[in-house]
Amino acid sequence: MRRDKMENIALQDFEQVSIDEFFDKEDLVSSIPDGIIIFTPHQQDLITNLISELSKENPDKVERIQSRLNDVENLAKAIARFPSLLEKANLTSSMRTPETLIESIISYQEDGDTTLHMPSKATLGKGFLITKIHTFYSMEKLARNYTSMTEKQVKEYSDETTSMMFTLMAEDVYLNLIKDKTISMELRRQIANLLIILWEHRSDQTISDIAPVLQTVWNARRRLAPAFGTMMGTSELIMVSMQADENWASFIKNKLSTTEVSQAMEEFLFGISHEQVLKLKDILRNQGVKSIGRDEVGAYLGERVKTDVSLDYRDFYLLYTVRRDNARARRRLHLEGPKATLEDFFIKFIMESNMEKQKKDALARTSEDD
């Protein structure tokens, strides 16, 4: 598979060599499917199961969902007609290669919306992914309301929808990390490479592996409902979430003591900005109030804030984008507070850990050869 091969390339120590060298290998070229991934095998299974169940119980619903799926497929085919980002392409007076695209992504450090600086395929592919997310959300509602599927079976559709939401989020995270000059240039090039793969296929294995962990932490945040004004609930969240994954446990153990990571965790947990957290603590301290519930936060701050939590993937993404934009503003204006989101810090930690492990493994193999 092209994506697997490219991901293996991305995980190796990056040197300034032509990626075209990898595409010139006959065994690699013959195994590369062209273009965007329309539906993964798991997604196709979900589609098949839903249509089968609807056909038995509500056949009138089949034509509508089938028409929507055909639209998704036609959209993917149209996007696939644009030049591949993983190959050479003649563009007006210049030649674009994966290497020049990587260097362009890394060198562009301007603030603001970069939509008009993105390749057309990247912009169109984002719309395709959003269309897929909406489609699977509709499929979940059909499965829940018009079939006899169990709750566990229906949950597979919501889980898949959420997984695609994390893929949508991954693009923002990668772009943030590429601009992070505290990260080595070697790793930033690897991340840029992963971003190009994501743009090309609209699927990302790195995020697919991490998504269940972030979802578990989000669910734990919802259940624990910490008390505002104190950090009550934080320790419980950490204890619950550390059981979810060894990478997350290692991240908490090694990074939570860092000021900005701790501040980003507060934003994630309480659902309000760092500035609002500080203001709220100051108000409650001055008024002698020890803690308040979520529904009281807006009244104390004197402004409307969204502190309620739900399992809706749209709420997760909405609150993520607020934290993302706030972090970017602090970085641009040199303000105190977290300059990245909790998701940024976690994925950065995973990638740096993986790179360190790769180097140690390579060193060990070299020692064995000697």
- 331 and 359 fall within a common domain: yes
Largest CA distance in the chain: 72
Q: Tell me the H-state helices in 86-225.
A: 98-107, 120-146, 151-178, 185-201, 205-224
- 311 and 340 fall within a common domain: yes
Q: Among residues 148, 180, 203, which one ends one of the domains? A: 203
Distance (Å, whole) CA 285 – CA 292: 12
Give residue-wise pLDDT tens across range 207-222: 888 888 888 887 777 7
| Cα-based distances in Å from 125 to 36, 118, 122, 137, 179 | 8, 11, 5, 18, 22
Strands 89-91 and 94-96: antiparallel
Give residue-wise pLDDT tens across range 238-261: 666 666 678 888 998 899 899 999
Domain that holds residue 85: 2-203
- 86 and 182 fall within a common domain: yes
What 3-state class would DSSP assign to 272? coil
Residue 273: exposed, middle, or buried by beta-carbon count in 10 A (0-12, 13-18, 19+)?
Answer: buried
Q: Among residues 159, 174, 203, which one ends one of the domains? A: 203
- 184 and 317 fall within a common domain: no
pLDDT at 236: 61
Between residues 16 and 226, the one the model is more confident about = 226
Instruction: Count how many domains the chain has.
Output: 2
Residue 43 CB neighbour total at 10 angstroms:
20
Give residue-wise pLDDT tens across range 2-54: 444 444 434 343 344 343 433 333 332 222 345 689 999 999 999 999 999 99
- 221 and 147 fall within a common domain: no
- 187 and 324 fall within a common domain: no
DSSP-derived secondary structure for 283-321: HHHHHT---B-GGGHHHHHTS-------S-HHHHHHHHH
pLDDT at 120: 93
- For the chain, give the mean pLDDT: 84
- 88 and 139 fall within a common domain: yes
- 145 and 254 fall within a common domain: no
- 361 and 216 fall within a common domain: yes
pLDDT at 4: 47
| Residue 300 confidence (pLDDT) above 60 | yes
- 74 and 187 fall within a common domain: yes
Between residues 157 and 91, the one the model is more confident about = 157
- 234 and 162 fall within a common domain: no
Q: pLDDT band for position 191 (50/70/90)?
A: very high
Q: What percent of the chain has pLDDT over 90?
A: 52
Give residue-wise pLDDT tens across range 139-160: 999 999 999 999 999 999 999 9
Rg (CA), the chain: 23
- 153 and 136 fall within a common domain: yes
Distance (Å, whole) CA 330 – CA 310: 27
Distance (Å, whole) CA 56 – CA 79: 34
Phi, psi of 177 (to 5 degrees): -70, -35
Distance (Å, whole) CA 282 – CA 271: 17
pLDDT at 16: 41
User: Closest by alpha carbon to 58, among 148, 136, 137?
Assistant: 148
Q: pLDDT band for position 228 (50/70/90)?
A: low
| Residue 296 confidence (pLDDT) above 50 | yes
Distance (Å, whole) CA 181 – CA 218: 28
| Cα-based distances in Å from 166 to 66, 215, 342, 368 | 25, 9, 14, 40
Torsion of CA 234, 238, 240, 244, to 10 degrees: 150
Q: Among residues 186, 203, 220, which one ends one of the domains? A: 203
**pLDDT (average), residues 332-349:** 96
Q: What percent of the chain has pLDDT over 70?
A: 82
User: Closest by alpha carbon to 217, among 201, 234, 237, 199?
Assistant: 237
- b/e per residue, 201-223, with b = 16+ CB within 10 A? bbbbebbeebbebbbbbbebbee
Give strand pairing partners of 89: 96
